[in-house]
Amino acid sequence: MEENRLLTESERNWAMLCHISAFAGFFFPFGGIIGPLIFWLSRRDDSAWININGRAALNFNISMLLYIVLAIPLMIILIGIPIVIALGVLKIVCITIGSIKAARGEIFKYPLSIPFIQ
């Protein structure tokens, strides 16, 4: 909770937008990557908090894209269908939790996230 006092409301809001913008991927091709990328690139130098959250959101969404692309060929033998559904549910849940925690000033570690961007 002490972290909340050190962060401005603007920092928490921009960090939340880095996470929540990933929902664009459900409406636009590659929106799950482009959304967080835009918010992260526009404010990463302004705040370490925004930089941390933007990288986490971007790494998670790139990882999810990779996992879904790898699961698509498995759809031929039907095992890929529940995998893709599970990845979609995981993505929705994690983006929501990450957004809420960023708005509260708490750190959220995404599961299954590959650290592409350090």
So where are the chain's domains? Answer: 2-104
Q: Among 6, 8, 92, 23, which residue's Cα sits nearest to residue 39? A: 23
Q: How far apart are alpha carbons 5 and 13 in whole angstroms?
A: 14
On the question of pLDDT at 90 being above 70, the answer is yes
What integer is the mean pLDDT of 108-113?
Answer: 95
What integer is the mean pLDDT of 12-21?
Answer: 95
The pLDDT assigned to 5 comes to: 55
CB 106 within 8 A of CB 31: no
Q: How confident is the model over 56-73, as pLDDT tens digits?
A: 999 999 999 999 999 999
CB 102 within 8 A of CB 19: yes
**Global pTM exceeds 0.75:** yes
The pLDDT assigned to 12 comes to: 95
